[in-house]
Structure 1
Amino acid sequence: MSAFASMASVHCALHFINHSIENPLSRAAIFRGPFGFAFKPLCNLPKGRPSTSTTDIIPQVSLSTALEDGSYGETEMTPTPKVIIDQDSDPDATVVEITFGDRLGALLDTMSALKNLGLNVVKANVYLDSSGKHNKFAITKADTGRKVEDPELLEAIRLTIINNLLQYHPESSSQLAMGVAFGVVPPKQQVDVDIATHISIYDDGPDRSLLCVESADRPGLLVDLVKIVSDINIAVESGEFDTEGLLAKAKFHVSYKGKAMSKPLQQVLTNSLRYFLRRPTTEDASF
């Protein structure tokens, strides 16, 4: 575990997002090294609610502007936005892919927004297939030239992209979990009620396991998942975090003392994640 002395520099990365709002449920911690973690709570939370990490986002969308031509109302044709953060496919860079049907015109401004996080876009390409238009680019930290390994900064990248989606494509709010608070048209589904959580752990060779989690998206989820895993001394080596509309899908390569997880330890991790990701109850919500 690393020291907490660098917490200020890590936490400052989130404040490069140009417009922020306090997440009322959360304030959490830091992480160091290539998916090696140390966490420290920053404040107490309301009774009965699981902790979440600090992640700040607010889009700049005017309701009157967005709706003045009637183009951003509810429509069954609105595609599902997808944001993929891939730590596996390139050893030297973090690969980010964004898809929103054929509507990703102004989203190229995302590259400029990422530079404000202290990142470089080292290569990028746009391609079309049956699922739509894809913006795919590799990013590195500007100060080191290496891939991003800090989960707070990875979450800041994800929220910066979602912020741009909500700003330049207000119709995407009907398909995104953060559209509930910040969007022009909120999702039809209740994010915390209608979306089930699924957790699976598989052997991925003798030295590591593959953890797969699917749950309702929310700000800070990437950091929180890593914290829960690291709290029971399981190492997260690499992985991928996908935002698909209201869903968050995580795939992490994990190990325990350099080996794949035993079945009893898999059950402990599964139970811990299920408790953390449980649906809120009426009693919890009343506090």
Structure 2
Amino acid sequence: MQMAVAMASSGCGLGICASSRALERKPLAASLCRSSFGFDPLLRFCIFPRTRLSSTVGTLIPKAISPTVVEDGSYQETDAVPTPKVIIDQDSDPDATVVEITFGDRLGALLDTMNALKNLGLNVVKANVYLDSSGKHNKFAITKATTGRKVEDPELLEAIRLTIINNLLQYHPESSAQLAMGEAFGIEPPPQKLDVDIATRIKVYEDGSERSLLYVESADRPGLLVDLVKIITDINIAVESGEFDTEGLLAKAKFHVSYKGKAIIKPLQQVLANSLRYFLRRPTTEDASF
């Protein structure tokens, strides 16, 4: 699943500057709260969509029972819990942001998830499902209701990602142990956390004379997409387009980047990689410690 982050090709890239625009606060069916789950200050809210739970869901299902609940209210009995994947793809469709969700063969019609996205001020313009060896892929194209265009604001893209993951956790609580967000949203944390030093990988590749391809892989957490874009733009590198994948405990990002309309030269590539590596590996500090 490819979550590409379409961004304007202006000096700030992605339609954002270092001082990112605040998330458009239209009537949301989501509770916004202060950063009580370790959100970065840039993303000063957490998303808990008020979606309608199927009557069969009830409270979180104990792991010992572990039937899978899908949004259409049906059950599936399986043993191995697949790796949840969420992709936001800005490259495959010039007019819309494409969202793809995979969780083995456990996902239903995702009607509540699509309704939650509509509550963020988005329109679902088309949807389809396809099967392959990795399971059932639910894919749908979304646009901003106000403009009819794809989403460019990284804060809104992160809100989309967190909304989808929160719905996945609500309807499939067994996915919590496979997702870094399980702990962030106060459900069951993964049995093992990724070592950030080991998990972090940063590479810059040639991608023609006018741009470079930045690849970042790291342990996932809320607000990561916004933070990555801010670090990149803070050193005056423009983010032209991108892709953000959530695969279990990992986040994988690909950004097309440039400096003053040209590909990034080697010394600046090193500065970019060092800045990202330092930011991703540094320990987080609680506000209360100051």
TM-score, normalisation: structure 2:
0.80
Match of 2:66 in 1: 71
Flag the 1:3–1:185 CA change in 2: closer, same or farther, 3 A.
Answer: closer
Alignment partner of 2:47 out of 40, 46, 57: 57
8 Å contact kept, 1:151–1:222: yes
Alignment partner of 2:28 out of 16, 27, 35: 16
Report the more deviating stretch, 190-199 or 62-71: 62-71
Distance in 1 between residues matched to 2:281 and 2:218, nearest whole Å: 10
Report the more deviating stretch, 60-69 or 179-188: 60-69
Match of 1:46 in 2: none
Flag the 1:127–1:6 CA change in 2: closer, same or farther, 3 A.
Answer: closer
Q: Which has the higher contact order (CA 8 A, sep 6+)?
A: 2
8 Å contact kept, 1:174–1:183: no
Distance in 1 between residues matched to 2:156 and 2:268, nearest whole Å: 29
Q: SS of the counterpart of 1:153?
A: helix
Flag the 1:55–1:252 CA change in 2: closer, same or farther, 3 A.
Answer: farther
Alignment partner of 1:101 out of 100, 104, 112: 104
Report the more deviating stretch, 58-67 or 129-138: 58-67
Q: Percent identity?
A: 73
What is the CA distance between 1:127 and its match in structure 2? 1.0
Match of 2:158 in 1: 155
More helix by share: 1
Flag the 1:193–1:211 CA change in 2: closer, same or farther, 3 A.
Answer: closer
Flag the 1:5–1:67 CA change in 2: closer, same or farther, 3 A.
Answer: closer
What is the CA distance between 1:194 and its match in structure 2? 7.9
8 Å contact kept, 1:192–1:279: no
Q: Deviations over 1:14-37 (max 9, x none)?
A: x825234422444545xxxxxxxx
Distance in 1 between residues matched to 2:138 and 2:67, nearest whole Å: 22
Match of 1:145 in 2: 148
Q: Aligned partner of 2:110: which letter? A: L
Flag the 1:150–1:103 CA change in 2: closer, same or farther, 3 A.
Answer: same
8 Å contact kept, 1:55–1:219: no
Match of 1:134 in 2: 137
Where do residues 1-287 of structure 1 align in structure 2 (5 Å cutoff)?
7=21, 10=23, 12=25, 16=28, 18-24=30-36, 25-26=38-39, 28-29=41-42, 53-58=43-48, 65-67=60-62, 70-71=65-66, 77-105=80-108, 107-182=110-185, 184-191=187-194, 196-280=199-283, 287=289
Flag the 1:216–1:65 CA change in 2: closer, same or farther, 3 A.
Answer: closer
What is the CA distance between 1:141 and its match in structure 2? 0.6
Flag the 1:238–1:108 CA change in 2: closer, same or farther, 3 A.
Answer: same
Q: SS of the counterpart of 1:144?
A: coil
Q: Aligned partner of 1:66: which letter? A: I
Distance in 1 between residues matched to 2:231 and 2:59, nearest whole Å: 42
8 Å contact kept, 2:33–2:44: no
What is the CA distance between 1:259 and its match in structure 2? 0.4
Q: Deviations over 1:120-179 (max 9, x none)?
A: 111110111100011001111111111101101101100110010001111110111011
Flag the 1:65–1:210 CA change in 2: closer, same or farther, 3 A.
Answer: closer
Report the more deviating stretch, 195-204 or 255-264: 195-204
Flag the 1:65–1:278 CA change in 2: closer, same or farther, 3 A.
Answer: closer
Flag the 1:200–1:194 CA change in 2: closer, same or farther, 3 A.
Answer: closer
Q: SS of the counterpart of 1:202?
A: strand
> RMSD of aligned C-alpha atoms?
3.0
Match of 2:3 in 1: none
TM-score, normalisation: structure 1:
0.81
What is the CA distance between 1:110 and its match in structure 2? 0.8
Flag the 1:63–1:184 CA change in 2: closer, same or farther, 3 A.
Answer: farther
8 Å contact kept, 2:202–2:217: yes
Q: Any unmatched runs of 5+ in structure 1?
A: 30-52
